[in-house]
Amino acid sequence: MHLDPIFEGKRVLILGGTGSLGKTLVRRTLSGELGTPEKVMVLSRDEAKHHDMRVSYQRRKIATDDVTYNNFLRRLEFLLGDIRNYADVVSAVRGADIVINAAALKQVPNCEYFPEQAVLSNCIGPANVVRAIREHNLRVETVVGISTDKACKPINVMGMTKAIHERIFHAANITCPQTRFICSRYGNVLGSRGSVIPLFHEQIRSGGPVTLTVPEMTRFLMSLDQAVDCVFAAIRHAEPGETFVPCMSSSTVLDIAKALIGDRKIPIKVTGIRPGEKMHEIMISVEEAPYATRRGDYWAIRSLLPEIYALDAAATPEMTSEYSSADHVVDLEGTYKLLERHRMLLDQTAKSEGVELFESAAAA
């Protein structure tokens, strides 16, 4: 059963489309679940990833869902360029109806040590998208920014730059009123590059120890496909300036490690919190809570800008406190079930990346 055919006949541009999330976005967009796009364009600065991804589709004899092999050759286009470069962005965005920005520097320690690089990718890049649409009066229908729970009350550079990314897109609804700018915000994506799951498995294969920062630290967890579900839900339902947040469970890093280790005699070593890390992540702050409204399996945070949304002071808010990973923690058994629920999809995605995420650990 297909959902609203919002991609039908559209030209979809995925910035950073060769990354873990970007590749899943490409696969799902080409699947036809939201309609068959006229073109899917992938902008990335990594020519090696371009080549590997292009070859993987050319060799695929059975395409995703109902899109055939020949359609991939017609519909999937690779653009070599950098979101930091304004000319590259103009060239790519000029031919797009829908733009999804998955290009970012996302690893917390790297952003701490190279903050100027994080600003260039996570702030200047999105600003280039807005500038291209505004200065060239481009008729882009929708732009979606991919954000993170770390953007909520940020204490690290990655979160700070992603928070600015969100605000750049929110404000763009005023300066580019012909385009709908929206965002999606979610927690740790299992199986993405830099995820703790592949690190834990590498340590387990090596006989340990499995290294934890702080055992009581909690994190929201979701699969790559759930992340794409959130993006697609925002495209289908978000109003201008809204940020979509999924309703999610969280686990402690200790329970994640125990669930992956299973019955194996692998030691656990506590290393201490890393620069810029939080003990618990917040998905919606108490300041944003009055602007949050429930939409099925998601929360929609309306823009704080009064030109976009005027808060009714007399209305009773649906959310009155912050949405924190500390408040939605499942136990060890729940963590087993959470990982098992995602195992099949994660294994499929991971094998395409050359990584075994779960082996038999989730069932141990």
Confidence of residue 339 (pLDDT cuts 50, 70, 90): confident
Placement of tokens 């650990």 in the chain: 361
Where residue 130 falls (left for φ over 0; alpha for ψ -120 to 50; beta otherwise) is alpha
Scored b (16 or more CB within 10 A) or e, 163-176 reads bbbbbbbbbbbeeb
pLDDT by residue (tens digit) across 216-270? 999 988 888 999 999 999 999 999 999 999 998 899 999 999 998 989 999 999 9
Q: What is the CA radius of gyration of the chain?
A: 20
Query: Tell me, what's the pLDDT at 221?
Result: 85
pLDDT by residue (tens digit) across 28-42? 999 999 999 999 999
- 108 vs 103: CA distance, rounded Å: 15
Please state whether the predicted TM-score (pTM) of the whole model is above 0.75. Answer: yes
Confidence of residue 277 (pLDDT cuts 50, 70, 90): confident
- 23 vs 31: CA distance, rounded Å: 12
Catalytic residues: 150
Placement of tokens 């830099």 in the chain: 194
Helix (H) or strand (E) holding 333: helix 332-352
| Residue 63, pLDDT above cutoff 60 | no
Domain ranges, ordered by start, for the chain: 11-363
- 244 vs 229: CA distance, rounded Å: 11
CATH number of the domain located at residue range(s) 11-363 in this protein: 3.40.50.720
Where residue 23 falls (left for φ over 0; alpha for ψ -120 to 50; beta otherwise) is alpha
Confidence of residue 347 (pLDDT cuts 50, 70, 90): low
**Which segments of the chain are extended strands (E)?**
11-15, 39-44, 76-80, 98-101, 142-148, 180-186, 188-190, 210-212, 218-223, 243-246, 250-252, 268-270, 282-284, 292-295, 298-301, 323-324
Three-class DSSP category at 290 = helix
| Residue 359, pLDDT above cutoff 60 | no
User: From residue 259, how far is each of 79, 147, 201, 287, 354 by CA, in Å?
Assistant: 41, 28, 11, 35, 22
- 59: DSSP letter: T
- 158 vs 148: CA distance, rounded Å: 9
Dihedral sign, Cα of residue 68, residue 145, residue 327, residue 301 = negative
